Structure formats: C-alpha cells, structure tokens
Amino acid sequence: MRHGWLGFWAQQPDLDEFLLSLFSVSKDIKIYQANYRRARFLLKSLGYREQNLVRVAVAIVEYQRAWFFDNKELRPLGLVDIAQKTGLHESTVSRLVKNKGLASERGVHELKYFFSQRVSKAQEKSSSSVKDLIRDLIAKEDKTRPFSDFRLCQELGAQKVEIARRTVAKYREALGILPAHQRRVFSVAKPQKVE
C-alpha cells in the first residue's frame, strides 16, 4: 500500500486552525468546516478500507501458505472462508479482492486467483489444480491418439481425483483446449523404398 498523501493529511491537527484563520466570513467558515468533515470521513474510510484489504491479504497468504512457501498447489478457498476468518461480510471480501494484485516470489497475481472451488466435498483439490492436471495430461499425450474426456477422467482417477466426464469437458473448454477429435494429428507414412 502506497498512500503517502493519506498519512500527511491524517496527521495535520494544526492545519484546521491555520485554514480557519484564513477565512473572514462566517459563511466561508461553515463551507470549509462541512468540506473538512467530509474530507476527514473520506480519509477515515480509506484507512479502514486499507486495513481490511491487508487483513484479507494476510488471511489469503496464511491459508495458501503451501503455495507461497513450498511451491505446492492451491488449496480450495472460497470467499466465505476468508470472510469467516477476517470477520468481514462475504460481499465486502468480494469487493476488496476485485482488481487487486498480490506480488510474491512466484509473480504478481490477482487476489481472485487464490480463490477456487473444491472439486468435491471429499477431496482437497481445487478446480484450478485439476485444470493444471488436465493441461499437463494433454501436453504429454500422444498427439496421434489424444485423450478423450472419458480417458482424461480415468487418468485423473489414477491420480486420486474423482470427477465426472462432463466436468472434465467443462474444465478443458475453460482452458481453451479442443476436444480429442480436433486435437488429433495424423502422421504421414513414409514411402517404402522399392529395390
């Protein structure tokens, strides 16, 4: 957070008396006082917002500690989890994380990046980590015989990730990956030498 101006105006108690001495008409003084009260309220609101944003960011880092410090995958995390941890309302958390970034050794990510749904209630896999698994499986597949959504489902099952075929299809489409029949690369047979 870089709000140098906020700290300057918030810590100027003598400024009020100095500015009041510049006005000679009581009407001007009343206008100034009304605007001054509004400005103080705005500064207080900005300070409160900054405190809440820091609380939310700290809660996210604590919850996703393994991702930040051990290079592991993201854990499933919802707005409700952070709201409960910080004591803020879910809608407040949603507004706070919108269009905000967090810089770490792994790069700069939007705060929304750290929120993902649980694939199923029994599993501790987030949808983003399952999407990463799908992307990796497709990257390593034989391009002449690409995995169908059903086969991807089986491969994920072998890695202890149980999800439905249609969920695999939804995640694949969200990643911008074509279906198997469109990913298939046909090999051209080399001509035989005739002797």
Domains (range + CATH), the chain: 4-114 (no CATH), 127-183 (1.10.10.60)
What average pLDDT does range 136-149 have in this prediction? 90
Return the SS3 of 77: strand
* pLDDT the model gives residue 143: 87
Check whether 191 has a pLDDT greater than 90: no
Gap between the Cα atoms of 1 and 7, Å rounded: 12
- Looking at residue 72, its pLDDT comes to 84
Mean of the per-residue pLDDT values of the chain: 83
Confidence of residue 5 (pLDDT cuts 50, 70, 90): low
**3-class DSSP state of 61:** helix
Contact call for residues 184 and 144 (beta carbons, < 8 A) = yes
The predicted-structure confidence for 16-35, as pLDDT tens digits, reads as follows 666 666 666 677 778 877 88
Nearest to 44 by CA among 36, 33, 34: 36
Asked if 162 and 118 count as a contact pair (C-beta separation under 8 A), the reply is no
pLDDT tier at 13 (50, 70, 90 boundaries)?
low
d(CA 46, CA 117): 31
The tens digit of pLDDT for each residue in 62-73 reads 999 988 888 888
| Residues 90-131: tens digit of each pLDDT | 999 999 999 999 898 888 999 988 887 766 555 667 788 888
